Structure 1
């Protein structure tokens, strides 16, 4: 009888049943939710679709800031998922030894085989800790000295390209050139071999676009992580992303042959990361596996280029938008050069003694962080209390760096404005360490970006060279419309167009 009735259901009824069921399920979730009092967009109470659509718009960092201005320190952005803006909560969520593991969103950034997870995507804190210890010495401050020649090579080449652009009087996409620079630097540091993007400023293999596409995939699929296992096998294995993988394999193979060639015995050059990992692999293949080698080299390329290029673009854009700060920085560098306290090119150690340069870098990281979504973590079995609310186990909580960096209680009432001097004031007030605890551009705690020091190395060395050698002029359309970015986890500048002039050369207008 029941089967007969089911067979007699009309097609219209069959179409209505699924959405009605979803609505009922969402309403039940709302009724049973112990945190019904936490504010947020109405639709975010019932479905993750609201979050998906808001990210799709491409400016979630701005949306997220607006949500906290409207609702306060804790905001619901999806069922059982909350965005936080609370200094004490940052230590609770991201502090060393805390049991807040990365949320399922990160699964979409790795293959379904967890043994191939990168340091960024690995959800298992124990495995992550073991892996991080394997590689941490390669990214330490002491290791940076060995990487400086690689950065110098690419800095010199970018300056050469900028001189050519200046002579041609062309308007160019400055973000693109800075990404070419960051990509070639990480190629040198990782493989002792540039990719060659700085030769012509061209990406013939479509590598930039392929990395962007993979980031788009992971950003959206991570919102519904169960789909990842179904879709991952369908992802293309060729094209730009395949080029990076195959390039990595070729570099490893060539380096293995080179190390075994007796004619190369005794030859020494700057130590690149791949050689260091490869030697560790050959010394103990069980401890440092071939998968470790491939995954780490690929991670350097995929993450190291975008994050650094975005921050370099932030530095240069804000210096040009606020020319007074450009001149203050130039005066600091010129004075140091006259006094003989900086070289040409500036060394990383010398750059640390340029206080305004360091303030500019920190302010650029604050104003335009490379990542623009909340860094979600899963609340442990004990639950936790955040901003006066008890959050039950299994909920997801996270802080967006863009939200944290607009917190007026930390950064002052002018937190929305570009003002590098604030960092010098923090130091004078003895608040430097306090403020750094809510500076989340590189993450926080045990999951702080392992490549942070390399990124700071590139910024600290390139920016003084550009400021001392060149003037720039923003494109008129950019001046009128303002900078536009697209947020797909990385908040990438889209219209950073301008002209380059050799220093002292007369500008247009």
Structure 2
């Protein structure tokens, strides 16, 4: 039986806990209520989820669910062009806002959101400082020009050829009734076709190609038919080894790079939309801690690849060689750490984005047999040999590009509205004034479905119809091109656009020329997951060699 003293002590203890809980709740409410009352950014009049008016939790929840772009799209359908999605963040869905938010000379900057994607140091992709970004872009812009990118085609052909040979081997075995592989690479033969998931193979193609361009050698994923790449076991010790010029002491492990890159994207988006002071606490949750590990693993992958490449100087025409020799306007070249960060940025930005786009476009073409036949008729009129297709033969084919553009419209790999912070002095748009520090974004998912641009019938905008790019009159086509932003727009637009288009055009033309495709299930929907990058979950198809080949 407790003594009176113990009872009194427990009572005060319970009161203390209760007081702390009340005080904590009061502080939490005040922290979110006071900014709403003050309304520093003048966003209270704009509609949106109730929770989003007071807290970033709504954005974190939407991002964690992997459906942010769809949820924001539904809000725009309900409320109109202006929707408040966070206490200081306004989403604007009209294409006219693109030049305001992302255009040249507007002064908008990348907000703190992008710090969630920085590992070694800010790269061209993640740098928020305008002067530093301008410096980096001047160093590398010529590397990614249309003229320079064509020099990379022979390297691309090597990997497309490996892809086709791997598929042909599986196809010939499938004709014998064989089956093999495991997990996502499982395949089987039935009804004279090879049935398999083509998505992993496009991942391997993209990783090997960008790895070869960035680091001087591929990761060997295509040859192995497996998601695998070397990475530094310990990043800190590896970076010290690089600084000493001693790359032989770096310990390595094999990692599933595609899987880890997907985890990195899933982590960066939901953690990035939360306030900076929340991130260390939220990052302790298993969902986020695993993502943090993936971020480190990707950095380790870049460190090992750069170290191996720099340890063996080469005259190869790869990106790392170009980065090593490039200088800024003051004659300063990049240091090893900066080169490593840029190489990681190129790897991340140029791998899964392209492979996911190729897989989605193949799905859309396969789903409509009339589209597939029309495309193959166009290819047949310009191609005579099997194997990797020459870019010169297909770079101007109208229906091929219409198929690619329509796929990128419906399946933009970055479907969210990329955030920008309003500069000093504020900005005005359509009679709306936005003070300094307001976060604005234009969601590509919604912009690519604007019925005033893509068709009067709201249902038509969700339909894959390449013909819309060929039937449009000059005025309509101009509106479509203005609203078409798979690579974003303005000074922070994707610098690797030319490489991505080269890869998509050659890969899609090559596989579609050699094989007839059908979906494994006739009513098969394209399932996907969205982090910062939108990715298909699988694209299961049946292929057979076209009869005239």
- Which of 496, 506, 520 is the equivalent residue of 1:461? 506
Say what the alpha-carbon RMSD is for the aligned residues: 2.7
- CA apart distance, 1:238: 9.7
Does residue 368 of structure 1 match 2:411?
A: yes
CA contact (8 A) 1:74 1:387 kept: no
- CA apart distance, 1:480: 4.0
- Which of 90, 100, 110 is the equivalent residue of 1:92? 100
Map 1:268-417; keep pairs closer than 5 Å: 271-280=317-326, 286-337=332-383, 345-413=388-456, 414-417=460-463
- CA apart distance, 1:230: 4.7
Closer, same or farther in 2 for the Cα pair 1:39/1:239, shift >3 Å?
Answer: closer
CA contact (8 A) 2:266 2:530 kept: no
Partner of residue 178, structure 2: none
* Gap runs ≥5 in structure 1: 1-5, 260-268
* Gap runs ≥5 in structure 2: 1-11, 175-187, 189-194, 229-254
Partner of residue 261, structure 2: 211
Partner of residue 142, structure 2: 137
CA contact (8 A) 2:529 2:536 kept: yes
Does residue 253 of structure 1 match 2:310?
A: yes
Aligned counterparts of 2:29 and 2:280: Cα–Cα separation in 1: 25
Aligned counterparts of 1:334 and 1:64: Cα–Cα separation in 2: 42
Closer, same or farther in 2 for the Cα pair 1:286/1:168, shift >3 Å?
Answer: same
- CA apart distance, 1:136: 0.6
- CA apart distance, 1:329: 0.5
Closer, same or farther in 2 for the Cα pair 1:418/1:14, shift >3 Å?
Answer: same
SS of the aligned residue for 1:10 comes to: helix
Q: Deviation per CA, 1:404-447, whole angstroms, max 9, x where unpaired?
A: 10011112232221111111123x42544442222111111000
Partner of residue 15, structure 1: 21
Give 4+ residue runs of structure 1 displaced > 6 Å after superposition. Answer: 231-234
Aligned counterparts of 2:377 and 2:524: Cα–Cα separation in 1: 30
Partner of residue 265, structure 1: none
Closer, same or farther in 2 for the Cα pair 1:20/1:125, shift >3 Å?
Answer: same
- Which of 27, 37, 41 is the equivalent residue of 2:45? 37
Does residue 202 of structure 1 match 2:202?
A: no
- CA apart distance, 1:343: 9.0
SS of the aligned residue for 1:330 comes to: helix
- CA apart distance, 1:71: 0.7
Partner of residue 179, structure 1: 203
SS of the aligned residue for 1:498 comes to: strand
Partner of residue 466, structure 2: 420
Aligned counterparts of 1:452 and 1:164: Cα–Cα separation in 2: 32
- CA apart distance, 1:9: 4.4
Aligned counterparts of 1:32 and 1:239: Cα–Cα separation in 2: 40
Partner of residue 130, structure 2: 125
TM-score by length of 2: 0.82
Partner of residue 264, structure 1: none
TM-score by length of 1: 0.88
Aligned counterparts of 1:229 and 1:286: Cα–Cα separation in 2: 35
- CA apart distance, 1:460: 1.0
Aligned counterparts of 1:109 and 1:286: Cα–Cα separation in 2: 26
Closer, same or farther in 2 for the Cα pair 1:73/1:297, shift >3 Å?
Answer: same
